[in-house]
């Protein structure tokens, strides 16, 4: 690992931008219809429980990443292959996010540009920042957080003053009871807050390790409120039917802005917001995969891995789905249950149980 540290504020900014990522521009939770905003808040409860589990494991091993302490908990013969699977999971997820970003940029602003070119520019920029280390990434996120806040204020003000919102679209609340909300919230726990599992690779860099739990909870809370508000905003402007049909509903919402015929076509706000979110979400997965490989294979300089990992992410983003519909279907119907759930819940829970039992009967075992 790098001999570098990041501050609590920097970690908070990374968590917020990471959690929002591409989630801001897609129809997250729309399965609950006009109660989608509520489903997101309910899913936060499960997400916080997952994060507390990750935090407990970190407190047991505050100086090493996930790929190291897996081996300490279940042994090298089981832990090493599990660590390798997590690296593949990080790479695959980074590829999906890169594909998401490329699709939106091509559909919204660069329809004459091949998606490969867009993805290449994104990944090469991220690789450049990661090459210079975690501290440079952390300083970059501080600057981008300010821009993200400014864009959010401008976007919301534009929608508000254009008079296109209809709060009645959010009614009736809980029309079909809690069942649709809970059915939607369960996979969202893994598709949204559960992605914090990759931060188990970054926590050792925090200069104040005792603040990990507080920072994580606050970051997830803020990002969930923003996401819940955003989906509610989309429903008030577009209605449930159009929001559910739109590939990128936030982009559709902002395209309807027209303030006195003077302020319109402010799509750039959404596009810039997406670029910021995609950048840092991919960066965290990219960096986690890189230091994970360095850890498992005992490579002293992780910078040697940045180029091959970046190429792998780029190529994977092009072959994981044959078209946009297939890509989105996999992300909503398959990934949360068959890919995210094992890596974000089942494996960490098993590690937690094994670590707890071994610590209970032999407090010195895990420190060896």
Q: For residue range 108-147, what is the model confidence (pLDDT) as tens digits?
A: 778 888 999 999 999 999 999 999 989 999 999 999 999 9
- The pLDDT tens digits for 323-356 are 767 766 776 677 777 788 889 889 999 999 998 8
Q: Report the length, in residues, of the chain.
A: 368
Q: Which of 270, 91, 93, 323 is nearest to 192 (CA)?
A: 93
pLDDT category at 313 given cuts 50, 70, 90 is very high
**Residue with the larger pLDDT of the pair 132 and 3:** 132
pLDDT value at residue 365 = 60
Q: Distance (Å, rounded) from C-alpha 193 to C-alpha 166? A: 29
HSE-CB for 187 with a 13 A CA cutoff: 19
Q: State how beta strands 263-264 and 258-259 pair.
A: antiparallel
Express as a percent the part of the chain with pLDDT over 90: 34
Q: Give the CA distances from residue 136 to residues 16, 25, 90, 126, 191, in Å, rounded to whole numbers and listed in that order.
A: 18, 27, 21, 11, 28
Burial of 268 from C-beta contacts in 10 A (0-12 / 13-18 / 19+): middle
Report the DSSP beta bridge partners of residue 28: none
pLDDT category at 255 given cuts 50, 70, 90 is confident
Torsion of CA 174, 177, 179, 183, to 10 degrees: -10
Is 66 in contact with 351 (CB distance < 8 Å)? no
Q: Distance (Å, rounded) from C-alpha 72 to C-alpha 67? A: 9
pLDDT value at residue 334 = 73
- At the second CATH level, the architecture of 8-367 is Up-down Bundle (1.20)
pLDDT value at residue 111 = 83
How large is the average pLDDT for residues 291-312? 92
Location of structure tokens 């190529």: 315
pLDDT value at residue 366 = 58
Least confident among 237-251, 272-286, 343-357: 237-251
pLDDT value at residue 246 = 79
pLDDT value at residue 261 = 65
- The pLDDT tens digits for 77-107 are 999 999 999 999 999 999 988 988 888 888 8
Q: What are the residue boundaries of the structural domains of the chain, listed by start?
A: 8-367
Tell whether omega for the bond before 68 is within 30 degrees of 0, i.e. cis: no
How large is the average pLDDT for residues 214-227? 91
Q: Give the CA distances from residue 100 to residues 25, 130, 267, 318, in Å, rounded to whole numbers and listed in that order.
A: 10, 21, 17, 11
pLDDT value at residue 87 = 95
HSE-CB for 254 with a 13 A CA cutoff: 24
- The pLDDT tens digits for 44-57 are 888 888 889 998 88
Is 43 in contact with 182 (CB distance < 8 Å)? no
pLDDT value at residue 124 = 95
pLDDT value at residue 188 = 66
Is 304 in contact with 48 (CB distance < 8 Å)? no
DSSP state of 63: T
How large is the average pLDDT for residues 244-266? 76
pLDDT over 90 (residue 40) = no
- In terms of average pLDDT, the best of 28-42, 200-214, 232-246 is 200-214
pLDDT category at 262 given cuts 50, 70, 90 is low
How large is the average pLDDT for residues 222-236? 89
Q: Distance (Å, rounded) from C-alpha 77 to C-alpha 128? A: 35
Residues 6+ apart with CB under 8 A from 8: 206, 207, 208, 211, 215
- The pLDDT tens digits for 141-199 are 999 999 999 988 888 888 888 878 888 888 888 877 888 888 877 766 666 677 888 99
pLDDT value at residue 260 = 64
Average pLDDT of the chain to the nearest whole number: 86
């Amino acid at each position: 690992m790098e001999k570098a540290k990041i501050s609590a504020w920097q970690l908070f900014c990374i968590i917020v931008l990471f959690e929002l990522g591409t989630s801001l521009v897609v129809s997250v939770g729309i399965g609950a219809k006009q109660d989608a905003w509520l489903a997101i808040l309910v899913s936060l409860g499960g997400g916080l429980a997952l994060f507390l589990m990750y935090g407990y494991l970190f407190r047991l091993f505050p100086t090493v990443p996930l790929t190291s302490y897996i081996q300490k908990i279940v042994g090298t013969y089981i832990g090493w292959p599990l660590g390798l699977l997590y690296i593949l999971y990080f790479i695959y997820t980074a590829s999906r996010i890169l594909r998401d970003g490329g699709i939106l940029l091509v559909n919204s602003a660069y329809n004459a540009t091949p998606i490969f070119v867009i993805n290449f520019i994104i990944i090469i920029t991220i690789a450049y920042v990661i090459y210079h280390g975690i501290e440079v990434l952390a300083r970059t996120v501080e600057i981008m957080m300010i821009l993200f806040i400014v864009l959010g204020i401008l976007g919301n003000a534009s929608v508000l003053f254009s008079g296109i919102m209809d709060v009645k679209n959010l009614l009736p609340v809980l029309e079909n009871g809690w069942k649709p909300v809970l059915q939607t919230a369960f996979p969202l726990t893994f598709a949204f807050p559960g992605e914090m599992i990759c931060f188990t690779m970054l926590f050792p860099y925090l200069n104040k390790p005792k603040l990990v739990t507080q920072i994580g909870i606050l970051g997830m809370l803020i990002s969930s409120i923003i996401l819940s508000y955003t989906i509610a905003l989309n429903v008030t402007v577009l209605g449930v039917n159009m929001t559910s049909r739109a590939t990128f509903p936030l982009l559709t919402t902002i395209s309807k802005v027209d303030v006195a015929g003077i302020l319109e076509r402010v799509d750039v706000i959404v596009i810039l917001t997406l670029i910021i979110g995609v950048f840092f979400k991919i960066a965290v997965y990219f960096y986690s995969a890189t230091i994970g490989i360095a850890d498992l294979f005992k490579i002293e300089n992780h910078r040697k891995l940045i180029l091959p990992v970046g190429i792998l992410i780029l190529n994977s983003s092009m072959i994981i789905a044959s078209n946009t519909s297939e890509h989105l279907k996999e992300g909503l119907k398959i990934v949360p249950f068959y890919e995210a759930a094992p890596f974000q819940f089942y494996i960490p829970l098993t590690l937690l149980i094994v670590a707890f039992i071994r610590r209970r009967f032999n407090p010195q075992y895990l420190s060896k």
